[in-house]
Amino acid sequence: MTDQRSQAELVRQSLKRRYRKERRFRAYGIAAIAIALSALVILFADIIGKGHTAFIKTTVTLEVDIDGEAMYLDDASDERQMKMADFVEPLIRALMKEIPEAGESDRDDVRDLINPYASNQLRDALRENPELLNTTQTMTFLSHTDVDVYVKHAGDASYSIKLNEKQRGWVDALYERGVVDTGFNDVFFSRGDSRDPSRAGILGAIVGSLLTMVVTLALSFPIGVAAAIYLEEFAPQNKLTDFIEVNINNLAAVPSIIFGLLGLAVFINLFGMPRSVPVVGGLVLTLMTLPTIIISSRAAIKSVPPSIREAAEGIGASKMQVVLHHVLPLAMPGMLTGSIIGMAQALGETAPLLLIGMVAFIVDVPDGFFDSATVLPVQVFLWAGSPELAFIERASAAIMVLLTFLIGMNALAIWLRKRLERRW
């Protein structure tokens, strides 16, 4: 009796300690989730903090006196004269007019406020409309990248401002008067890559990604669905089928860079396909995403109840008719969901594409499946490696665009699943 009581006493005494332990354990769990989520929050905050300014461009609006004499040009429709003409001079003069305190000795400093390609813009305008010669036009140009950095990040210690004191004063005054202005950076969404950060855009990378994804989807969806149908519905129980299954499961876990090696050795070296084209990228990503699509399609087929098959067979449908007319349509939402997730994976993939040469510096927006191209994540990689902070800023912005696409695709997958999936 005393023994029992003392035992109960012992348990009671230990309870406090045990409950404390219990609370501590629970707190560990909460802390773990908090760590993971704070990593997510810090990641997003960091990228948005670094990149949101990339969506702003700095422009300079000038009253340009397109003076033929100063440009050594008397006929803008004459291509030979156009090649020789000086398109910088009118820009410098227009700027000097806006900055009365700048003297002749400051010409170079004044010129460096405006984008080096502004003269090309003037030339193209004249080429298009030769009548503009010897008139005065109000034109808006991109500012020099250094001005862009100064206007957006003047107070930020991590950015090094390359403008000298005098130029800073001018820019401040011009900004006050609205000559230098900021606006939505449409250049970022309408151009390819460039050596000049303020003219660099992601359209080329987006189109490259799109072309690559078209190839990937067009190949991996039908092949993946067909393979899943075979394995679930037709495959006999034998060694070959087992071998196929083992292969699919292992391929799903092979590091993506290995697929890059495969693409390099087979598609480029063996077949002599060109480097850095969307077709080869799409082929490599197809091989990489196939296991994902096959596995999710098989799960979708498995979830179709046997009663459907039996009913169809009962009224005389052949095996193939059962599959194509009944099982496949019912499994389609699940297959689509899996494929969208596989595509999202492929869209964010970088490593294998580096090996097949999609890391080239490409200015033009690709116009076909056999045109040199780069893709969004590779563009991020390229810009992130640049020592210029203006490119880092654009890399963050490109990440935001990439993540927007990915979140959109995942949301679509979730919506599809909610909307179309049936519970049996």
Partner 1 sequence: MQPANLMLLVIAFVVVAYGLGYARSRSLAMPMGGIRHLKSLPFYYGARAALWCGIPALIVLALWAAFQGKVIQLLVIGSLPPDLVPEGAGQASLLLSKISNVASGALPPGFVEAPIAEAAERLQALRAQSRLYMSVLVVAVAVLAGFLGWIRISPKLNARSQVETTLKWIFFACAALAILTTVGIVFSVAFETFRFFQKISFFEFFFGTQWSPQTALRADQVAAEGAFGMVPLFTGTLLISAIAMVVAVPVGLLSAIYLSEYANKRVRGIFKPLLEMLAGIPTVVYGFFAALTVAPFISDFAASLGINASSQSALAAGGVMGIMIIPFVSSLSDDVINAVPQTLRDGSLALGATQSETMKKVIFPAALPGIMGGILLAVSRAIGETMIVVMAAGLAANLTANPLESVTTVTVQIVTLLTGDQEFDSAKTLAAFALGAMLFLATLLLNVIALKIVRKYREQYD
223 binds partner 1 (CB under 8 A): yes
Q: According to CB under 8 A, which one of 206, 395, 397, 401 is a site residue for partner 1?
A: 395
110 binds partner 1 (CB under 8 A): no
How many binding residues for partner 1 (CB under 8 A)?
A: 92
Q: According to CB under 8 A, which one of 208, 224, 282, 334 is a site residue for partner 1?
A: 224
261 binds partner 1 (CB under 8 A): yes
113 binds partner 1 (CB under 8 A): no
Site for partner 1 in 264-283 (CB under 8 A): 264-266, 269-274
Nearest distance, CB of residue 229 and partner 1, angstroms: 5
Site for partner 1 in 348-387 (CB under 8 A): 348-351, 354-355, 357, 359, 368-370, 377-378, 380-381, 384-385
Nearest distance, CB of residue 357 and partner 1, angstroms: 8
Q: What is the CA radius of gyration of the chain?
A: 31
148 binds partner 1 (CB under 8 A): no
Rounded to 5°, the CA angle 286-292-298 comes to 120
Interaction pattern, residues 169-208, with partner 1; x per rule: CB under 8 A: ----------------------------------------
415 binds partner 1 (CB under 8 A): no
Q: According to CB under 8 A, which one of 94, 180, 231, 327 is a site residue for partner 1?
A: 231
403 binds partner 1 (CB under 8 A): yes
**Choices 135-143, 166-174, 244-252, 304-312 (CB under 8 A): range interacting with partner 1:** 244-252
147 binds partner 1 (CB under 8 A): no
43 binds partner 1 (CB under 8 A): yes
Site for partner 1 in 301-340 (CB under 8 A): 318-320
**Choices 136-144, 182-190, 218-226, 326-334 (CB under 8 A): range interacting with partner 1:** 218-226
CA–CA separation, 352 and 261 (whole Å)? 7
**Structure token digits, residue 261:** 């090696």
287 binds partner 1 (CB under 8 A): yes
Rounding to the nearest 10 degrees, give the CA dihedral for residues 348, 350, 356, 362.
Answer: 80
**Choices 21-29, 59-67, 109-117, 178-186 (CB under 8 A): range interacting with partner 1:** 21-29
Nearest distance, CB of residue 29 and partner 1, angstroms: 3
Nearest distance, CB of residue 236 and partner 1, angstroms: 10
Nearest distance, CB of residue 265 and partner 1, angstroms: 3
394 binds partner 1 (CB under 8 A): no
Nearest distance, CB of residue 381 and partner 1, angstroms: 5
284 binds partner 1 (CB under 8 A): no
Q: According to CB under 8 A, which one of 8, 10, 40, 411 is a site residue for partner 1?
A: 40
255 binds partner 1 (CB under 8 A): yes
**Structure token digits, residue 73:** 């040009």
Cβ–Cβ under 8 Å, residues 133 and 82: no
- State the SS3 of the chain: CHHHHHHHHHHHHHHHHHHHHHHHHHHHHHHHHHHHHHHHHHHHHHHHHHHHHHHEEEEEEEEEECCHHHHCCCCCCCHHHHHHCCCHHHHHHHHHHHCCCCCHHHHHHHHCCECCCHHHHHHHHHHHCHHHCCCEEEEEEEECHHHHHHHHHCCCCCCCCCCCHHHHHHHHHHHHHCCEEEEECCHHHHCCCCCCHHHCCCHHHHHHHHHHHHHHHHHHHHHHHHHHHHHHHHCCCCHHHHHHHHHHHHHHHCCHHHHHHHHHHHHHHHCCCCCCCHHHHHHHHHHHHHHHHHHHHHHHHHCCCHHHHHHHHHCCCCHHHHHHHHHHHHHHHHHHHHHHHHHHHHHCCCHHHHHCCCCCCCCCCCCCCCCCCCCHHHHHHHHHCCCCHHHHHHHHHHHHHHHHHHHHHHHHHHHHHHHHCCCC
50 binds partner 1 (CB under 8 A): yes
Q: Which is nearer to partner 1, 135 or 247 (CB)?
A: 247
Q: Which is nearer to partner 1, 253 or 315 (CB)?
A: 253
Q: How far is CA 396 from the centre of its chain?
A: 10
Q: According to CB under 8 A, which one of 39, 84, 311, 411 is a site residue for partner 1?
A: 39
Q: Which is nearer to partner 1, 46 or 75 (CB)?
A: 46
Pairing type for strands 180-184 and 56-65 reads antiparallel
